[in-house]
Amino acid sequence: MFTTYTDPEAYMEGSLLFTTSHLLSLCVTLALLLFLYLFRNRSWMKAGGRWVIILGLAGSELWLNYWYFSTNMWDIRDTLPLQLCSISLYLCVWMLLTKQKLVFEVVYFWGVGGALQALLTPELFYDFPHFRFLHFFIAHISIILAVFYMLWVEKFQVKLKSVWKAFAALNVIAIVVFFMNRLTGGNYMFLAKKPANASIMDFLGPYPWYILTLEFVVLVIFFLLYAPFFIQKKIKSKRYENAKI
């Protein structure tokens, strides 16, 4: 039986981290990624796969805002789409519609890095089967599926310079969000304070120093996300050299 927390105080007494519902959601994520990989070269996947993912992305965002307004929970301090994953979600929709390489280069690092961290350590006050639980995992899983759709189905790649593009874009967005936090009293992108739930930020020092430390951590994560492409490039280069011998 899954626990349902109906308010933040109840959530703080327990934790969704590695509960049954959390672990099952991670299993669903892996299963969907495996499905996408196994059928990546099928014509029906290329024709309709991106529209299914777009539906998951756009549908979850529309559903969320409907819930905010219908329950009178919309609040400029909390509900603007200014979290990194919210921004990534909108970029993912644009990426799937336009297939722009620059957007993919940014979303690959933002989406995988941000959504993966969110899935592993969810900042969530409600457990299954609450709407917010369902929305949270649908949205974040869709972001990851969007990125890997472009990788596996559309065959997009990232280069070393993509790391710096994504990092520069992130800092530009962070500056904008920082001032939006000042205007709204919000904590978007956790630039005003740490999240309430356990996260990597707990190890990065007090405010505001954890923001500077986080810059270094983000860059390390971006290079780790680039590593598979670097290794793949080296392997291809080695094979090419061997073929010439």
User: Is residue 99 predicted with pLDDT exceeding 90?
Assistant: yes
pLDDT tens digits for 34-65?
A: 999 999 999 999 989 999 999 999 999 999 99
For residue 121, the number of C-alpha atoms closer than 13 Å in the C-beta half-sphere is 11
**Would you state the pLDDT for residue 165?**
96
d(CA 110, CA 38): 25
Q: Which residue shows structure tokens 């299914």?
A: 52
**Would you state the pLDDT for residue 11?**
39
User: Is residue 166 predicted with pLDDT exceeding 90?
Assistant: yes
**Would you state the pLDDT for residue 209?**
82
d(CA 182, CA 132): 26
* 19 vs 97, more confident: 97
Maximum distance among all Cα pairs of the chain, rounded to whole angstroms: 70
Residues 91-109: b if buried by 16+ CB within 10 A, e if exposed: bbbebbeeeeeebbbbbbb
User: Is residue 6 predicted with pLDDT exceeding 90?
Assistant: no
3-state secondary structure of 173: helix
Q: What is the DSSP-derived secondary structure letter of residue 190?
A: G
User: Is residue 9 predicted with pLDDT exceeding 70?
Assistant: no
Q: In the predicted model, what is the mean pLDDT of the chain? A: 87
**Would you state the pLDDT for residue 14?**
41
Residue 197 pLDDT level (bands cut at 50, 70, 90)? low
User: Is residue 222 predicted with pLDDT exceeding 60?
Assistant: yes
3-state secondary structure of 150: helix
* 245 vs 186, more confident: 186
**Would you state the pLDDT for residue 184?**
94
* 179 vs 118, more confident: 179
Q: Considering the chain, what percentage of its residues have pLDDT values greater than 70?
A: 91
Nearest CA to 85 out of 52, 33, 122, 48 is that of 122
Residue 113 pLDDT level (bands cut at 50, 70, 90)? confident
Tokens read off for 8: 């933040």
d(CA 118, CA 98): 26
Nearest CA to 137 out of 13, 21, 48, 3 is that of 21
Residue 45's contacts (CB-CB under 8 Å, 6 or more residues apart) are: 36, 39, 153
Residue 245 pLDDT level (bands cut at 50, 70, 90)? low
Residue 241 and residue 234 in contact, taking contact as beta carbons nearer than 8 Å: no
Mean pLDDT of 18-22: 85
Q: How far are the Cα atoms of 52, 100, 224 from residue 211, in angstroms, in the given order?
A: 36, 30, 20
Mean pLDDT of 124-152: 90
H/E segment holding residue 146: helix 131-152
d(CA 146, CA 156): 12
